[in-house]
Amino acid sequence: MDVTVLDRQQATYPLELCASSVPLFQSYLGSGPIVDLKRPEAYLGGDGFHEFVYFPVGGGPEFGDSEKLNLVPPDAAPGYCISRTSSCQMTAFHAASMKEEREDMILEKMESTTGSDSRESFTKRKAEVVADHKSKDKRIKGEVEGESEVKTKCSTQVSRNSSKENSKACEVQKPDYIHVRARRGQATDSHSLAERARREKISKKMKCLQDLVPGCNKVTGKAGMLDEIINYVQSLQRQVEFLSMKIAALNSRVEFNVENLPIKEFPAYVANFPAAAKLPAMPNLTCFQLNPMQKEAVNCMLNETMHPPLTATEGIASASVSIPEQALSSSTITQLQPFSTWNMDPQGLYNVYDMGFH
Amino acid sequence: MNNPHHLNPTSLKSRFTTRFLRALTKIRAQKPISSSSPTEIFRRYRRIKAAADKSMAYSVRSRRIWSRAMLWKLRSRSYRRQDPCSGRRSGKTNQAIMKKSSNENTTTRREDGVGFVEEADELRQLVPGGETMNLCNLLDETAHYIKCLTTQVQVMKKIADFYSF
């Protein structure tokens, strides 16, 4: 029975195709003995399998690395052979004729590349063909499930990357395609494979976002999480607006100058604001913590030898020395009180915000 | 710099802080200090907010889609303010560019196949430059944008606290 299958294969394809399409051959060959599906062990250890493997190799000396081709079957072929069995039984021959052009293309590609790379890339291109074949026949889903079981058995036996068309992230030298594992009972055509890959990428990213956004763990489902993320982004943006409003208000009120701040060290200061008192490099700023000393602090700051970025600001700095003193002559506490009310009541600031619009 | 509390000078936080402080000093230098009417405060608020956004976008440079979009938006706004005619021209060319890129991406955008188009669109409106992103990129950009926003909020909070003494 096998021989007849082979004869038919050889009739449809020219001889030179045989050697190059060794794995392809096995796929079709594997479709022959339908009975063996029930006995997957036959593939793994059976001699009949090896017959399939070695038969066509002799027919293709013109492809140079016949030795390499010899090597291919025992390692890579099992995966193919077995993986193809289920899907290819009935449709292989129908598909074969349709795929002739495809084989020609594959053959051309095979010719262009040489060495082990050709083997790898060819097996990868096989993935396309295999995927197409599988899509043709969804009736055999049951056998696809059986196949995946066989495949797992097979992969434990074969150390090289077998089941190339379906294994994810194996150590391939030429990552031309993204490999996704087909799960049980799932369609395995190229479109749904790509879709599944995308969906998994997206869910991975959603998980990262979940870590960033607080309170996302309680919500389940992607839509709920997206809503949480949207709310969080909105709240952050509103906070930025609120804080810039606050700074604007404070800017107009409190009159000490920012230019005299040690700009290079300010980031560090900002970073550990509570511990500012401990920073030895900025003894002046420690005065800021105490409100009654604010006037003195301002003077200290102004006297500090800084390098203001704009020369014009120096004039302003000197001009504004008097203003802070006047501003601070009034009790600092009364100054701070409106701020505290504003802190408690963002509504006040928002009123200002609204007024600005009208 | 043995102090463990000192920031890495190349971190996003320090870059943003230095830029923002410089912008703040510029703003204070421009305006007279006396006025504190609500309109003045509002105008200043707008300026400070723009400065904050600009500093953040510049700190990220052009590495991200959202930062590029934000920079473009800010620049076009400033061009429009300086010269209305040129603003219209630049606005048109830029809009043409944006439309083209959005047309290229609309097919990928609509055929997400994942099922949350409404939320995705809402997110696109929030993240600058989001209209031209497919869902995959949108999620990436959102994550980075959230990180930058939190940094921004932290720094601005500290500055506001610092001022409010």
Tokens 């250890």: give the residue: A45
CATH number for the domain spanning A228: value is 4.10.280
Residue A287: HSE in the Cβ half-sphere, 13 Å Cα cutoff: 13
Can you give the C-alpha Rg of chain B in angstroms?
19
Asked if the Cβ–Cβ distance from B120 to A208 is below 8 Å, we say no
**Above 90 in pLDDT, residue B17?**
no
CA distance B97 to chain A (A): 27
3-state secondary structure of B1: coil
Whose tokens are 């907010």? That residue is: B49
Q: Distance between CA atoms of A192 and B6, rounded to whole angstroms?
A: 51
Is residue B27 over pLDDT 50? yes
Q: Which of A263, A270, A301 to mutate against chain B (most B CBs within 10 Å)?
A: A270
Kindly indicate the confidence band of residue A137, based on its pLDDT and cuts at 50, 70 and 90: very low
In-domain check, residue A132 = no
Dihedral Cα B46, B52, B56, B61, nearest 10 deg:
60
Eight-state DSSP code of residue A226:
H
pLDDT digits (tens, 9 = 90+) for B85-114: 654 555 555 555 555 555 554 444 445 556
Query: Between B58 and A54, where is the model more confident?
Result: B58
Kindly report which listed range (A203-207, A216-220, B55-59, B142-146) carries the lowest average pLDDT score: A216-220
CA dist B137 and B116 (Å) reads 15
What is the band of A236 on the pLDDT scale with cuts at 50, 70, 90?
very high
In sign, the C-alpha dihedral spanning B135, B140, B143, B145 is negative
Residue A160's SS3 state is coil
Per-domain boundaries in chain B? 12-82+125-162
d(CA A58, CA A293): 97
- For residue B95, the distance in angstroms to the closest alpha carbon of chain A comes to 25
Asked if the structure places residue A179 within a domain, the reply is: no
Under an 8 A CB cutoff, do A241 and B43 touch?
Answer: no
Interface size, chain A vs chain B, as Cβ–Cβ contacts under 8 Å:
199
Model confidence at A1, in pLDDT bands (50, 70, 90)?
low
Q: Which residues span the domain enclosing A226? A: 191-252
In a domain, A227, yes or no: yes
Question: What is the number of domains present in chain A?
Answer: 1
Whether A2 is covered by a domain: the verdict is: no
The answer to whether the beta carbons of residues A228 and A221 sit under 8 Å apart is no
Domain membership flag for residue A141 = no
Question: Which of A226, A244, A279 is nearest residue B119 as measured by Cβ atoms?
Answer: A226
Q: Which of A79, A178, A92 is nearest to A140 (CA)?
A: A92
Angle between the N-to-C axes of helices B12-30 and B38-60, in degrees from 0 to 180, rounded to the nearest 10: 150
How close, in Å, is residue A345 to chain B by CA atoms?
15
Q: Which residues of A touch B22 (CB under 8 A)?
A: 263, 309
Q: What is the predicted pLDDT for the residue at A184?
A: 73
A-chain residues within 8 Å CB-CB of B5?
268, 271-272, 275, 279
B126 neighbourhood in chain A, CB within 8 Å: 230, 233-234, 237
The helix (H) or strand (E) run that includes residue A249 is helix A222-253
Question: Mapped to the 3 state alphabet, what secondary structure does B24-87 carry?
Answer: HHHHHHHCCCCCCCHHHHHHHHHHHHHHHHHHHHHHHCCCCHHHHHHHHHHHHHHHHHHCHHHH
Residue A51: pLDDT band by 50, 70, 90 thresholds?
Answer: very low
For residue A235, pLDDT beyond 90: yes
ipTM: 0.81
Highest mean pLDDT among A155-164, B116-125, B134-143 belongs to B134-143
Element (H, E) at B157: helix B135-163
B contacts of A229 (beta carbons < 8 Å): 123, 142, 146
Tell me the pLDDT tens digit for each residue of A14-33: 544 444 444 444 444 444 44
Question: Mean per-residue pLDDT for A80-109?
Answer: 45
Q: Cβ B163–A275 below 8 Å, yes or no? A: no
Model confidence at A130: pLDDT above 80: no
Mean pLDDT of chain A: 53
Nearest to A153 by CA among A266, A40, A235: A40
Q: In whole angstroms, how far apart are CA A3 and each of A8, A44, A55, A91, A297?
A: 8, 20, 10, 19, 99
Could you say which of B116, B158, B165 has the minimum Cβ distance to residue A270? B158
Contacts of B108 in chain A (CB under 8 A): none
Q: For residue B36, what pLDDT is reported?
A: 67
Most confident option among A179-183, A185-189, A265-269, B71-75: B71-75
Predicted pLDDT at B42: 82
